[in-house]
């Protein structure tokens, strides 16, 4: 069996003025052919799981061969510009055309990708992929649970499997699961039938930690469903509220073995449970002043999660709203800010020197004004680090670009030249920064940094800061979302009924 592997992942924040370009993908991940295997096979990413799963399922009588075609990913940012998306798809189709005969496809869309011409970008490329390979070739894929699931995504695939954790620690496991489903399908052991339910519900990003009670109830039901005879897989899509598209919102997926009615019933049951718990999914907000005051008093280190400047949700990473109050306090504090110009200025001054810097607040006024002060340059680094533990994002080799560590008063800043989500504690440790030296640490995220920071921080506080990833969705001006939709229209009514079916033929 020759199995093609395709990955095209981007979480697109449509509230950001700047577009995501081809250069953003080239800077992060843009691989074809055997380079995909070399870079991703040993990672915690779902593509690594594809390779592992096919190797596990391969036998002497029925060997499985992975045929890596394309893996493209950019750090979350704005809508993908039309030319860049077209170029990515041209590359994808060329790889597909030259791959030779394939027996099936393993695909890794994100589920919240938006391009200038295609708001449902994942649905578009999956639909075009289905058109090119025909109705019978099995396509099985993975999804990020922040996917805004669309009917076209569902109709284009025979099975879709979302990660079950946020922070995402099971990406590789879900890749293995997807590979097993595909191989069993090709061997005639199962015939996957999929259904999705899409309630008019937007779950606040502050409430999307899957281990906390508000999510745990829904996932417990999903786990119970997996014990039902005939159920192959199920998934909960929490949704991505920063993509202003018609598909924005939460949903549920169930895959059964040739039992479409059961898939529809159980998808509706999961969606109904989400809907019944909708009040628990409304955000709980903590403002900056209260958060800083509490952090100064609690046993440290205390991690303040800067929700409005959530780099993993597309924000610029240079907001000063939460950092500025720390400059005025006599409390040892640490924060990361994206500012290539400040890095260059610190490098020009040299280690041990003092230099006047204006750090952060460079992208726009929405994320604050630059932090102006006299800083001592403590260290200069190449910004490369490795993370061997499963962490959000699934990658092991990371590069935050040339990096400077500077200090003013009791505030230490790690200033990088590439926007880098705070998914790994190695981001700090590689620059000689031990968490225990600080009372307060600012991490620019919501739930994704928890896996890295919870082991060293007795307390983590999510802070309602301004920015393009504000947790207060009422501050965002939507033009394309569904209406009515909870919690925007509080009196929205819905009961499980209509579902969307997956690809029918194999």
- Per-residue confidence (pLDDT) for residue 226, from 0 to 100: 98
Q: From CA 256, how far away is CA 253, in angstroms rounded? A: 10
Q: Summarize the confidence of residues 324-348 as an average pLDDT.
A: 97
pLDDT tens digits along 387-438: 989 898 888 899 999 999 999 999 999 999 999 999 999 999 999 999 999 9
User: How far is 185 from 135, CA to CA, in rounded Å?
Assistant: 14
DSSP string, 205-269: GGG--TTSHHHHHHHHHHHHHTTSTTEEEEEEE---TTS-STT-S-EEEEEEES-HHHHHHHHHH
Rg of the chain taking only CA atoms, in angstroms: 23
Taking the C-alpha atoms of residue 244 and residue 446, their distance in angstroms, rounded to an integer, is: 20
The full set of domains in the chain, from first to last, is 2-281+497-501 (3.40.50.2300), 288-471 (no CATH)
Chain segment 232-245, per-residue pLDDT in tens? 999 999 999 999 99
Q: What is the pLDDT of residue 382?
A: 98
CA distance 26 to 361: 25
The rounded distance, in Å, linking the Cα atoms of 305 and 285 is 12
* Tens-digit pLDDT profile for residues 150-171: 999 999 999 999 999 999 999 9
Confidence of residue 273 (pLDDT cuts 50, 70, 90): very high
Burial string for 416-447 (b: 16+ CB within 10 Å, else e) reads bbbbbbbbbbbbbebbebebeebbbbbbbbbb
Residue 505 has pLDDT above 70, yes or no: no
Joined together, the tokens standing for residue 208 give 């999307």
Percent of the chain beyond pLDDT 90?
94
Beta partners for residue 335, in sequence order: 413, 442
| Rounded Cα gap, residues 367 and 321, in angstroms | 7
**Which has the minimum average pLDDT: 159-163, 186-190, 309-313, 364-368?**
364-368
pTM: 0.95
Tokens matching residue 486: 């909870």
Where residue 506 falls among pLDDT bands split at 50, 70, 90? Answer: low
Question: Do residues 30 and 157 touch, judged by C-beta distance below 8 A?
Answer: no
Q: How many CB atoms lie within 10 A of CB 409?
A: 16
Residues 169/186, Cβ–Cβ less than 8 Å: no
Task: Specify the pLDDT at position 502.
Answer: 84
Task: Name the residue among 49, 43, 31, 51 with its Cα closest to residue 387.
Answer: 43
Q: Are 78 and 17 in contact (CB under 8 A)?
A: yes
Residues 339/444, Cβ–Cβ less than 8 Å? no
* Integer angstrom CA distances of residue 295 from 248, 330, 407, 428, 456: 34, 13, 20, 20, 15
Q: Is the pLDDT of residue 364 over 90?
A: no
User: Helices 171-186 & 46-57, crossing angle to 10 degrees?
Assistant: 40
Note whether 464 and 308 are within 8 A (CB).
Answer: yes
Residues whose CB falls within 8 Å of the CB of residue 348, separated by 6 or more in sequence, listed in order: none
Query: Which residue, 232, 219, 109, is CA-closest to 164?
Result: 219
């Amino acid at each position: 069996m020759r199995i093609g592997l395709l990955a095209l992942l981007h979480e697109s924040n449509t509230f950001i003025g700047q577009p995501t370009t081809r250069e953003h993908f080239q800077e992060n991940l843009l691989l074809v052919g055997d380079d995909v295997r070399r870079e991703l096979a040993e990672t915690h990413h779902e593509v690594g799981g594809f390779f592992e799963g096919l190797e596990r399922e391969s036998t002497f009588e029925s060997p499985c061969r992975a045929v890596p075609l394309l893996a493209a990913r950019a750090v979350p940012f704005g809508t993908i510009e039309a030319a860049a998306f077209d170029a990515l798809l041209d590359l994808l189709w060329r790889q597909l055309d030259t791959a030779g005969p394939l027996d099936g496809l393993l695909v890794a869309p994100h589920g919240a990708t938006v391009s200038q011409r295609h708001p449902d970008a994942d649905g578009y490329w999956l639909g075009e992929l289905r058109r090119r390979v025909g109705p019978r070739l099995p396509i099985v894929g993975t999804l990020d649970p922040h996917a805004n699931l669309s009917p076209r995504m569902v109709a284009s695939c025979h099975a879709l499997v979302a990660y079950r954790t946020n922070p995402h620690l099971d990406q590789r496991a879900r890749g293995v699961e997807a590979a097993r489903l595909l191989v069993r399908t090709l061997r005639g052991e199962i015939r996957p039938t999929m259904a999705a339910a899409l309630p008019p519900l937007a779950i606040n990003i502050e409430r999307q930690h899957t281990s906390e009670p508000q999510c745990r109830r829904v996932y417990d039901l999903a786990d119970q469903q997996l014990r039902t005879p005939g159920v192959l897989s199920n998934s909960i899509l929490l949704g991505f509220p920063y993509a202003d598209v018609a598909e924005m919102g939460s949903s549920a997926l169930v895959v059964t073995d040739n039992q479409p009615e059961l898939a529809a019933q159980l998808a509706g049951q999961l969606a109904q449970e989400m809907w019944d718990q909708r009040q628990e999914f409304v955000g709980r907000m903590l403002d900056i002043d209260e958060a800083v005051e509490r952090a100064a008093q609690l046993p440290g280190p205390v991690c303040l999660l800067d929700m409005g400047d959530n780099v993993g949700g597309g924000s610029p990473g240079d907001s000063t709203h939460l950092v500025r109050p720390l400059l005025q306090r006599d409390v040892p504090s640490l924060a990361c800010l994206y500012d290539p110009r400040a890095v260059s200025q610190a490098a020009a001054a040299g280690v041990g020197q003092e230099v006047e810097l204006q750090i952060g607040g460079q992208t726009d006024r929405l994320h604050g004004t630059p932090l102006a002060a006299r800083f001592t340059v403590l260290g200069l680094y190449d910004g490369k680090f490795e993370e061997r533990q499963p962490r959000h994002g699934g990658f092991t080799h990371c590069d935050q670009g040339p990096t400077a560590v500077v200090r003013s008063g009791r505030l230490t800043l790690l200033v990088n030249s590439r926007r880098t989500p705070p998914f790994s504690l190695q981001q700090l440790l590689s620059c000689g920064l031990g968490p225990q030296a600080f009372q307060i640490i600012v991490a620019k995220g919501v739930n994704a940094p928890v896996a890295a920071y919870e082991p060293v921080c007795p307390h983590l506080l999510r802070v309602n800061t301004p920015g393009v990833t504000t947790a207060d969705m009422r501050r965002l001006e939507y033009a394309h979302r569904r209406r009515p939709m909870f919690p925007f229209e509080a009196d929205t009514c819905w009961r499980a009924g209509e579902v969307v079916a997956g690809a029918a033929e194999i």
